[in-house]
Structure 1
Amino acid sequence: MQATVAFLHTHVLVVVLFLLLFGAKAVLLLLNKHKALAKMRKQTRVLDIIFGTLILVTGGYLLFRYQGDLPAWLITKVVLVVAAIPLGIVGIKRENKALTVLALLLFLYLYGVAETKSLKMKPTAASSTTEATATPETDSAEMGDASLSESKEVQQTIVESMSEAQLANAQAIYTQLCQTCHGADGTKGLGGATNLQASNLSQSKRVNVIAEGWGLMPAFGSQLTDEEVEALAAYTMTLKK
């Protein structure tokens, strides 16, 4: 878990730095600041190689660690990233505005795809409740109206059924294992982690996801007891709004 989170943080940081550097060069090229561009290229040549390599290495690791079937948007994203990085480098190197703009548009599109988990950059109801910490889309379909019926009354019943010790222990486990990606209130969404305040997954489905993992979320079934998994799933239900 810690290794995956470390790689995820590194990947996000390197991508942002690469895009900022590439964006600055693209602006210089479009403004015909050729001397300034040549100077910047010379000063950042090593950084370009390092950033490009780290993006591929960290992205490859996260892809390898992904649990479950790879969704179409993720496969497409990987293919386009592999194409966009060299395209952008060649465009800047040859001072080709068309290639550079094309690469920039690709990067912006890929950012939108990563944020929405949709090739149309329009998050669907399924993706908002299934990616990274939820079950596959088929599970969402299987839930039907049952999951939506877990209203505040049901959540209150879940909380009341837990003792103070169980609730405190579940919260401690959440802080240790889940908070980095989901945030204290469940809305952080690091690496596509599901917004737990908006998720409609039933408690039983959450138990399954926690135990077996999904997406970049590792399986905790061997790390936690059955009782702890149940309590943790119940605690995440209390975050739902």
Structure 2
Amino acid sequence: MAQLELESPVSSTTVQSLLHGRMYTLALADNIFHDSFTRKYTTYKIQKESPESFYPFVFNDIMGLDPDKGVQVEDVKLALKGHVKDGYRFKPESALSEEDQFYNKYPTANDKVHVLVCVVDVSRIHQMNKITVEKIWNIRQEASHLGIPQVAILTRIDEACPKIKQDLKNVYRSKSLKEKMEQFSADVGIPMNCIFPVKNYHEEIDLNNDVDSLLLSTLKHIINFGEDCINFKKSQSEC
């Protein structure tokens, strides 16, 4: 089962809405909370039609990377290695210790992360400060060392450009969005072909084909990256 490490619960909710064919609200989200809303390390399984059947991947939701009150970089590194148990409450002032009951001393392959996904509100890219950028670089270095692919999801693209808000099909025709993607790529080092612009379901009450199309494409690429990671590590262990 592939682990997809997310910064925001909104995207896991959006994907669940997409795969269920209806609006879904399992992952909590907050439209007015200014600090990171997520406090616990939470794993989301996506149920299929059968109550006991799930899709072969999970989302692990973490606290945001706020420079002062955000998640400790060391906690993210531990999560990548599978050392963080579900339900661990993040502490901005200190990282998880080996003596903590939520420290997983013997992680299995299913506990480890196979794709690191950085979820960013596109309207806040220009507000990213040096500390946040350094956190992302630090986490990416650890992920690269572990052989974990890294991608970014840029959300709220409809608010980044009037043309996109008018018609979501203009997403790859928008010069302003491309400039923001290029800026983010240059800041954190994630290649342009690993950055996916999407629109979340945050005000709609029904699903939309254009929104779904972008989400399905993004999810497909992420799952492919995860499978490549798992297959590569299997081949390495057999050598």
TM (normalized to structure 1)?
0.27
Bigger Rg, which one: 1
Structure with greater strand share of residues: 2
